[in-house]
Amino acid sequence: MKIDPRAIISSKAEIDKGVEIGPYSIIGDDVFIGKDTVIGAHVVIEGPAKIGERNKIYQFVSIGTPPQDLTYHGEETTVIIGNDNVIREFVTINRGSTKENWKTVIGNGNYLMAYAHVAHDCCLGDNIVMANLATLGGHVAVGDHAIISAFVAVHQFVRIGTYAFVGAKCGVDRDIPPFMLASVDETGPRAKLFGINTVGLRRQGFSRDVIEGLKRAYKIIWRENKNLKKAIEQVRNELEPFQELELLIEFLSTSRRGIIR
Task: Give the residue numbers annotated as catalytic, written as ranges.
Answer: 120-121, 138
Q: How far apart are CA 39 and CA 44, in angstroms?
A: 10
> If we measure between CA atoms, which residue out of 233, 211, 209 comes closest to residue 220?
233
Distance CA 62, CA 57 (A): 10
Cα gap 144→194, rounded to integer Å: 20
Q: Are 199 and 216 in contact (CB under 8 A)?
A: no
Residues comprising the chain, all counted? 261
Task: Kindly list the distances between the CA atom of residue 137 and the CA atoms of 36, 121, 181, 198, in Å, as whole numbers in the listed order.
Answer: 30, 9, 20, 27
Q: Tell me how far CA of residue 145 lies from CA of 96, 125, 182, 197, 255, in angstroms.
A: 23, 8, 15, 12, 20
Measured CA distances, 117 to 84, 131, 138, 246 (Å): 19, 10, 10, 31
